[in-house]
Structure 1
Amino acid sequence: MTSTRLDFIDTTVRDGNQSLWGAVGLRTGMMLEIAPDMDRVGYRAIDFSTSTHMAVTVRFHKENPWERIRLMKARMPRTPLSFLSTGMRFISWETAHPELMALSYRLLVNNGIERFMVMDPMNNMQAVIDSATAIAGAGAREIVGALVYTVSPIHDDAHFAEAARKLAAVPAITRVYLKDPGGLLTPERARTLLPALHKALAGKPLELHSHCTIGLAPFTYADAPALGVETLHTATRPLGNGSSQPAIENIVANLQSQGVSVDLDMKAAGRVSSYFAALAAAEGLPPGVPQEYDMRYFQHQLPGGMIGTMRRQLREMRQEHRLPEVYDEVERVRRELGYPIMVTPFSQVVGTQAVMNVLAPERYANVPDEVIRYVIGKFGTPPAPMDPNVRDRIEQLPRAKELAKQSAMPELSEMRRRFDSRLSDEEFLLRATMPAEQVDAMVAAGPCRQHYSAVASPVERLVSELSKRPDVSHARIERDGFLLELRASKPAVPAGSAA
């Protein structure tokens, strides 16, 4: 069953950046500098963005995400840019009106997105099909339906194969990928699941996207081509491993040792890796490292980044010693809520409730809005029935009744009336889904910066910080033959004195 041609999707700037650097590590100029070399490697596509990443671009970097897409496409004319769509939503986790989604898809295509990966956090195949149909109407070149992998009593091979058959029957969906956000797919399970999916897809190509969170993905990737997988998702080494995807260098070496032919420019891939290694060092960002195998992960299934956040929050409350209790409670809450897949937003829904249950004197004494929305069906139908006692308790909360009455997303024409009619469609969509002050700051910041230097960046940060210090009038920096001397253009104001 070995694939006759093996393709690769590069996840460096989207999932690698998200998994290792919280989605905030890369600015537009950083990507543009290396884009021509990334274009030379020969990837089938670049996993580039999501609507959440677009919001991060505005919120943290004050950069226009639409401009980012256009600039990257201009620097990468040969390699398609891919967008991950997580259902009928754009930036907000609330379900959007179909007209708004149609507009967002059309703008993404017009600005340079050619490939869409479509998933539903509940693995609701009809929701995936509805999104794919809307995306096809916007003119997308390639649409890839997602099967989100998880481990539970109900998620067996037959469950996933049936979902694959539903996607294979849709003409708009030309490929399907198994998305393993927890890195839970073992080589043993892959040997039964991947052939079952390959058969169910009846000729449509199968892709595999897994994370290295507990070190399994490189082993599974080594077997995948012989099990019917035609495309693997990998990242360049500095943004691979850890809780990211396997590193392309390691995967290619392993496959070639088995006699699998790989048609990539590995010299260009090496330049990309060296660039991001230098960038990580200059920016103080942690490169990915291989992870230890952790059997407990199969029980709680919390994403790696979320475990770090949870540990920090417990430490701040001087409750870090209760983390093992939280792990046990995560398992229990997930079972009571009908085994949701531990992917955004449901990993946060389950994890937050578990922490509250452990810290409160009584379980479910406090229930956040997102858990209530989940229980009352705002996110769809859970994979399995919820515990009736938990469901009834939450449905009876006064807040549940308030949230149940909230109206759906208004029609596009109604939303447009709330904003200046002279706005471009791109800016309108951002203002319709984000806080006004964040979009205002983005507009005021002007065009995206298009250049980056790992050598100059630390110096620029130093100069910026020194400019905020009125008590510093002179600075001299020497290192390894480098000399920089700065003097204030006017006398400094002594600290604590009147201006």
Structure 2
Amino acid sequence: MSDHTEMKQVDMNYKKDRPKAKNPLKIEDLSLRDGHQSLFATRGRTEDMIPVAEKMDQIGFWAVEVWGGATFDTMHRFLGEDPWERLRTLKRYFKKTPFSMLLRGQNLVGYRNYADDVAKLFVKKTVDNGMEIFRTFDALNDFRNFEAVVPVIKECGAHFQGCICYSLTEPRLGGDVYNLEYYIQKAKLLEDMGADSICIKDMAGLIAPYDAYELIKALKANVKPMIHLHSHFTSGMSPLSHLKAIEAGVDIIDTCLTPYAYRTSHAALEPFVMSLLGTNRDTGFDINALADINEILERDVLPKYKHLLDDTKVSVIDINVLLHQTPGGMLSNLVNQLKEMDALDKIDAVYKELPRVRKELGQIPLVTPTSQIVGTQTVNNVLFDTPDERYKMITAQVRDLCYGLYGKTSVAIDPEVQKKALKGYSRGETPITCRPAEVLEPELEIARKEIGDLALDDEDLIIYALFPVTGKKYLLQKYGKEKVPDALKPITLEDVAKQKEMIEKAKKGELVEKSKIKEAPEKSGNIRTFNVFVDGDYFEVGVDEVGGSPVITYAMPV
């Protein structure tokens, strides 16, 4: 149990130029990547990062995460931005703070495994454009999926941060799969691969405070690289878990500036700055400088994105994560799938089936893309299975998983499920045991021939190689061969003000000019009475045409 051994009280000093703490906590800021990805559908634009970039550079962050994850896809697809240009632009403002990105192992910044030639060129060009820290993860914690990218990261002189995706077998740390020994062994593998730091990547906010303490203590005792904790706020536990991790001696934690914090994002930075004052782990940050940045964001930036915030719930905590140990976004997807099939009444059956499917598919961590794989198959089982047959409708992604295209699962996939999934599978019915990318043919030269002169450099080529359909469309727009749709253009503060004015008018009933109220006219002799039925009730209504003319003219008998 915690004994606060790594936390010591020192003389309190509130000044911004106070003496440096003996063991200051390092902070990576995620606002400009995971913050807006979690809260605002990854729609953050480069132009809206520039107003705070120089000020953020003065804070003293260990790193700022500005790229990777879903940003590469969203920038070219929905924002009409060149992903590479964001790196180059922000680098002009961040002169001291290293850049960090989220790299999905062999998936890079896409949703499938790419060939080795694509992976290697991607890493090289990313470093060329200003990236310094590669936070590298694999959804299955199969580090063979790092083997193509890590040597290039190291050769380029960049920082390789190896991630272990945090998952649970039980409601808390322990059980026969995801126990303390599992994480220690994974950390040792990353150390052997040359990791400069090791990150516990808690995608759903599952790590409990005392588990965080024990895990960080164990990792610090067993491996030499710096230990980094990344835990989403979704369940509400992350601030508590971070604090216990700090007590255990964690080197680095992830936070967001307050406007980008909480809900499915991360804990806010500012409470940690104040909480650690007067301790040997004081961050050294100037809280007033952070307040200035927050004011700019609240006033000049986030009004443009407020409409993207999911405000369907009042609560900022999703307790479903605590109940089912699944990421909040995954649960939302399950609900949406059931709604589309008019089967929302099956949600309890889905919750019951979910852990069973996950176990049969190898007790895999639930993170992109495995959370979608398990979730969709669970819905299929609930809707289409019969008492005599399970897995009647198996998705293509489950077949790929059973074949080994995503990597090796933590425990063996159920043999019967695997056999059924691979029956008639196009690549063969015997699962592979090699590194998944070894069965992939080189892709770069094929992509180069397909895109032709439209790709003017390797950066353009990579956009196309990763996203052939949307990537090509973006390049056509980039070079003026197609018009950029209005939907891709940014919202301005003037647009926000107009929308707000319209909403206020609508609330007051002022959108349509009210007709002037006149005195009721006299009834004519042509008025007719109708029965009007409303929800089982009926009303007698007199109808008289304006001007007194007959409402209905009947034909005279002949």
- 1:331 corresponding residue in structure 2: 355
**Distance in 2 between the 1:149 and 1:179 partners?**
6
- 1:369 corresponding residue in structure 2: 396
1:169 aligns with 2:192: yes
Quote the sequence identity (%).
Answer: 27
**Distance in 1 between the 2:65 and 2:186 partners?**
23
Match of 1:418, SS state, is helix
1:396 aligns with 2:432: no
**Distance in 2 between the 1:323 and 1:118 partners?**
34
Superposed displacement of residue 242, structure 1: 0.7
- 2:526 corresponding residue in structure 1: none
Deviation track 1:462-496 (CA, whole Å, cap 9, x = no partner) reads 99xxxxxxxxxxx9x99xxxxxxxxxxxxxxxxxx
Match of 2:285, SS state, is coil
- 2:33 corresponding residue in structure 1: 14
Superposed displacement of residue 135, structure 1: 1.3
Contact preservation (8 Å) 1:95, 1:409: no
**Distance in 2 between the 1:452 and 1:441 partners?**
16
Match of 1:150 among 137, 143, 167: 167
Correspondences of 1:45-124 after superposition (within 5 Å):
45-50=63-68, 52-124=70-142
Match of 1:41, SS state, is coil
Deviation track 1:37-94 (CA, whole Å, cap 9, x = no partner) reads 2212211111111163111100001110111110011111111111111112334433
What do you get for the CA RMSD once the two structures are aligned?
3.0
Deviation track 1:446-476 (CA, whole Å, cap 9, x = no partner) reads 8xxxx9896334258899xxxxxxxxxxx9x
Superposed displacement of residue 155, structure 1: 1.0
Superposed displacement of residue 194, structure 1: 1.1
Distance 1:452 1:262, change over 3 A: farther
- 2:14 corresponding residue in structure 1: none
Superposed displacement of residue 313, structure 1: 3.4
Contact preservation (8 Å) 1:13, 1:48: yes
- 1:469 corresponding residue in structure 2: none
TM-score by length of 2: 0.75
1:159 aligns with 2:197: no
Deviates more, 1:131-140 or 1:328-337: 131-140
Contact preservation (8 Å) 2:106, 2:119: yes
**Distance in 1 between the 2:78 and 2:449 partners?**
28
Question: Partner amino acid for 1:59?
Answer: R
Contact preservation (8 Å) 2:117, 2:442: no
Distance 1:456 1:271, change over 3 A: farther
- 1:456 corresponding residue in structure 2: 494
Higher helix share: 1
Question: Partner amino acid for 1:245?
Answer: H
**Distance in 2 between the 1:397 and 1:257 partners?**
65
Deviation track 1:402-453 (CA, whole Å, cap 9, x = no partner) reads 998996242533432333256211111111221122432344378xxxx989
**Distance in 2 between the 1:129 and 1:2 partners?**
35
Match of 2:226 among 187, 202, 205: 205
Match of 2:464 among 428, 431, 434: 431
1:241 aligns with 2:265: no
Superposed displacement of residue 200, structure 1: 1.7
Match of 2:61 among 35, 39, 43: 43
- 1:413 corresponding residue in structure 2: 445
Deviation track 1:187-225 (CA, whole Å, cap 9, x = no partner) reads 1212221111111223x2111100111111010111112
Unaligned ranges ≥5, structure 2: 8-22, 170-175, 506-558
- 2:244 corresponding residue in structure 1: 223
Superposed displacement of residue 381, structure 1: 0.8
Superposed displacement of residue 161, structure 1: 0.5
Question: Partner amino acid for 2:337?
Answer: Q
Question: Partner amino acid for 2:475?
Answer: V
Contact preservation (8 Å) 2:120, 2:149: no
Distance 1:328 1:385, change over 3 A: same
Count how many residue pairs are aligned between Structure 1 and Structure 2: 458
Question: Partner amino acid for 1:418?
Answer: E
Deviates more, 1:95-104 or 1:237-246: 95-104
Question: Partner amino acid for 1:367?
Answer: I
**Distance in 1 between the 2:196 and 2:326 partners?**
31
Distance 1:293 1:67, change over 3 A: closer
Question: Whose relative contact order is higher, 1 or 2, with alpha carbons under 8 Å and at least 6 apart?
Answer: 1
- 1:304 corresponding residue in structure 2: 328
Distance 1:51 1:108, change over 3 A: farther
Distance 1:12 1:74, change over 3 A: same
Distance 1:130 1:433, change over 3 A: closer
Match of 1:2 among 6, 23, 39: 6
Superposed displacement of residue 127, structure 1: 3.1
Contact preservation (8 Å) 2:318, 2:328: no
TM-score by length of 1: 0.84
